[in-house]
Amino acid sequence: MSFASASAGSGRTDKLADLLVILKRSFGFDSFRPNQAEIVEAFLDGSDVFAALPTGGGKSLCYQLPALLRDGLTVVVSPLIALMKDQVDAARENGLAAAYLNSSLSAEEARTVKAQLHQGGVKLLYVSPERLALSEFRATLRFCNVAAFAIDEAHCISEWGHEFRPDYRALSSLRAEFPEVPIAAFTATATAEVQTDVIRQLGLVKPVVIRASFNRLEITYRVRRKSTVNRQIVAFVSERVGEPGIVYRATRNATEETAEALIRDGIAAAAYHAGLPDAVRAEVQERFVRDELQVVVATIAFGMGIDKSNVRWILHGDLPRSVEGYYQETGRAGRDGEPAEALLLWSPQDIAKVRYHIGRMTVEEERSAAERRLREIIAYADSGVCRRQVLLAHFNEEHPGGCGGCDVCCGELDTEDLTIPAQKLLSAAVRTGEVFGAHHLADVLVGECTDRVRERGHDQLPTFGVGAERDRSWWLSLARDLEAASYLSRRVGANGRRGGFQLTARGRELVRGRLSYVSAQRGAPVPSPRAAPGVPGERSEGPPALLRDDQEELFRCLRSLRKRIAGERGVPPYVVFSDKSLRVMALNRPTDRQALLRCHGVGERKLEAYGAAFLEAIRAFLATGECGP
Ligand code: ADP
Ligand code: MG
């Protein structure tokens, strides 16, 4: 190795060591999450950056830490006005001089912020895209020694993304107006189109592109058939006492029915959908973030950018419209790196409903794109293949399967090899000319001599009666499943009505014996959270700790202390300490400042602010075995 490269190498190590010290001191974390260090270093070096990290990957830190170290102002653009205050509170808790400007501030408050800006008293400024579009505001910025721009939720600038925001278009002139100022774009949207588009729209110059793995190790994925959906949801939530979660439902009515069912069962829940007045929605969100509501039952209108890090589970009560959407929604669980669960409940009727909507789409391209998305999500839900493997394949990420963190890999589902019955059903379809629906095929298989069977001579076929060992309804549901899994597809008549089944290419492979059909859906109960497998912790923070009963009790005490303090300070509980921090405290039981400082998420600022209260609570618990007052 030449001298030059050796010194460059150790230079990087030194820099990294410095960053780690600041990471612990200001944020209380012992290590970077995957890709954070690279992003921070590139951004600090003055490069433009494009970073795709999954939800919960820790994007905020990638611009907050550089902001702390830079001279001058870092401007963060975020579309989520309702959440800016919380983000600023959280940054301030870590000792960053942060502020925000958006339409929610009074004129007086905005003036105060601007005065602070002029005096150079702000290091990190959150603004809405509308604000950044105002020429008056841009003029202010020119006097503020802007050192960097961070564009959060950067996919909003792209029409390819699923959340395009016209306001984001104003950002495309930043590059020309501030040619010397580095821009970093952050998103959790993984597709290549979005990446190219964001880079182009923002005019990033030779950006350092960093794409993290989208594997969320802390999330356990499960899929079950739904029967009485509200009862299933209530049972699931009842087993997760005090654990915050989100239920997604397909329609406004469904959100309200499910919320009512939960409330009847004594669970603190509320519905959230676009039909509710703004004030109600804001209140639901606020109460959820502050741990006053355990459950929000929502349409997909809820959730983007919710920074609540202790969401423990996401339950979908209906088949989602796409894998991308499903992945983003489930990503809202477990941002603190603690174990979390994603459960999807679905039934073949869901497919019929989605197909009905698709059928009403008038633009051919939209319809076929929706049809493709539906097939993909069915392939996720209705297969005996490792869920993580299927999800990640969607983001072009290869996973070998056997993840140990999904229902398939944990052997929770009774899988049944149904290749032979499936072949029987498919050949019945072929022999009858691929024009009949499930009912006629079922009649042929069980050997039912209906008028139609006789008229067509189908009682003479070799497949007639080959399925007599099962009943008619069993064959009907197998036909639906084979359609769901894309072995069969419906013919569509000239009038747009859906006709009989024909085989797909996959179906033909199955008949020829080149594919097998393993069904993995029937009935298994969802295990209680304590029994959850948890994926071997590859996150740098180490595997999550399972607590004993007394530790669990202390954890509960610390949570209620946290809630009280958060209430007094008017910030969300997770801003005080994350669940993970409290769990580590419950496990390690620190009784002095040094020991507390060693706990995850405890930096110098938080030690000063909350150390005494938490140490006292822990000491009291150790002495009495109970929560203090
Ligand atoms: P994203 O915006 O990528 O979805 P956030 O920035 O909101 O994620 O971070 C998610 C959670 O992870 C936050 O609670 C944050 O404090 C925590 N976090 C970020 N970086 C680290 C780290 N290096 N170690 C531990 N926790 C971290
Ligand atoms: Mg974020």
Q: What is the pLDDT of residues 241-296, one digit of tens each?
A: 989 999 999 999 999 999 999 999 999 999 999 999 989 998 999 899 989 999 99
Any domain includes 396: no
Ligand 1 atom 10, closest CA: 56
Q: Assess whether pLDDT exceeds 90 at residue 111.
A: yes
Q: What is the pLDDT of residue 419?
A: 92
Residue 87 contacts residue 163 (beta carbons within 8 Å): no
- The verdict on residue 400 lying in a domain is no
Sequence letter at residue 506: R
Distance (Å) from CA 337 to ligand 1 centroid:
8
Which amino acid residue places its CA nearest to atom 25 of ligand 1?
29
Give a yes or no: residue 616 inside a domain: yes
What pLDDT score was predicted for residue 8?
A: 46
Ligand 1: atom nearest CA of 60 is: 6
pLDDT at position 5, please? 39
* Phi, psi (rounded to 5 degrees) for 124: -135, 115
Q: What is the pLDDT of residue 535?
A: 40
- In this predicted structure, the answer to whether residue 36 has a pLDDT above a threshold of 80 is yes
- Shared domain for 234 and 204, answered yes or no, is no
Q: Is the pLDDT of residue 23 over 50?
A: yes
CATH at residue 587? 1.10.150.80
Look at residue 288 in the predicted model and tell me its pLDDT. Answer: 94
* pLDDT the model gives residue 284: 94
Q: What is the DSSP string of 560-620?
A: HHHHHHHHHHTS-HHHH--HHHHHHHHHH---SHHHHHTSTT--HHHHHHHHHHHHHHHHH
Judge if 349 and 431 occupy the same domain.
Answer: no
**Structural domain contains residue 160:** yes
Residue 530 has pLDDT above 70, yes or no: no
Does residue 474 fall inside a structural domain?
yes
**Residue 599 included in any domain:** yes
pLDDT digits (tens, 9 = 90+) for 214-223: 999 999 999 9
Q: How far apart are the first and last CA of the chain?
A: 63
Residue 476 and residue 570 in one domain: no
Q: How far is the CA of 332 from the centre of ligand 1 (A)?
A: 12
Same domain, 274 and 181: no
DSSP 229-283: HHHHHHHHHHTSTT--EEEE-SSHHHHHHHHHHHHHTT--EEEE-TTS-HHHHHH
Domain closes at, from 480, 504, 520:
520
pLDDT of residue 162: 65
Tell whether 123 and 202 lie within a shared domain: yes
Residue percentage of the chain with pLDDT more than 70: 92
Domain tally, the chain: 4
Q: Pick from 477, 504, 520: which residue ends a domain?
A: 520
Say whether both 268 and 194 belong to one domain. no
Ligand 2 centroid to Cα of residue 565, in Å, is 24
pLDDT bin (cut points 50, 70, 90) of residue 83 is confident
Neighbouring C-alpha atoms within 13 Å toward the C-beta of 259: 23
Using a 6 Å cutoff on CB, does residue 53 contact ligand 1? yes
Residue 402 lies inside a defined structural domain of this protein: no
Statement to judge: residues 437 and 310 lie in one domain: no
Report which of residues 161 and 106 the model is more confident about: 106
Domain, as residue range, for 444: 415-520
Element spanning 491, H or E: strand 488-492
State which of 179, 211, 243 marks the end of a domain. Answer: 211
Nearest protein CA to atom 19 of ligand 1, as residue: 58
267 with 174, same domain?
no
Ligand 1 pocket residue status of 286, Cβ below 6 Å: no
Average of pLDDT values for 211-232? Answer: 92
468 vs 545, more confident: 468
Residues 21 and 162 occupy one common structural domain:
yes
pLDDT at 549 over 90: no
Confidence of residue 2 (pLDDT cuts 50, 70, 90): very low
Asked whether residue 116 falls in the same domain as residue 205, the answer is yes
Q: Whose CA is nearest to atom 20 of ligand 1?
A: 58
Ligand 1 near 93 CB (within 6 A)? no
| pLDDT of res. 629 | 65
457 and 370 in a common domain? no
Residue whose structure tokens are 């969100």: 285
Q: How confident is the model at residue 545 (pLDDT cuts 50, 70, 90)?
A: low
Helices 135-142 and 107-118 pack at an angle, to 10 degrees, of 30
Q: What φ, ψ does residue 445 adopt, rounded to 5°?
A: -65, -45
pLDDT band at 498 (very low <50, low <70, confident <90, very high): low
Q: Are residues 207 and 225 in the same domain?
A: no
> Best of 33, 83, 151 to mutate for ligand 1, by most ligand atoms within 8 A of CB?
33
pTM (2 d.p.): 0.72
Residue with the bigger pLDDT between 36 and 81: it is 36
Domain with 360 in it: what CATH number?
3.40.50.300
Distance from residue 305's CA to the centre of ligand 2 (Å): 6
Distance CA(168)–CA(170), nearest Å, equals 5
Element (H, E) at 218: none
Helix 278-289, helix 81-93: angle, nearest 10: 20
Nearest-5° angle of CA 162, CA 166, CA 171? 105
Residue 497's pLDDT is what? 65
What is residue 158's predicted lDDT score, i.e. its pLDDT? Answer: 86
The answer on pLDDT for 4 being more than 50 is: no
| Spatial CA neighbour of 580 closest among 396, 395, 312 | 312
Q: Which ligand is nearest to the CA of 305?
A: 2
Query: Percent of the chain at pLDDT above 90?
Result: 58
Q: Rounded to an integer, what distance in angstroms lies between the CA atom of residue 373 and that of residue 361?
A: 14
Q: Taking residues 39-54, report their average pLDDT.
A: 96
Q: Comparing 81-95, 176-190, 286-300, 422-436, which segment has the lowest mean pLDDT?
A: 81-95
Query: In this predicted structure, what is the pLDDT of residue 187?
Result: 93
Decide if 530 is inside a domain.
Answer: no
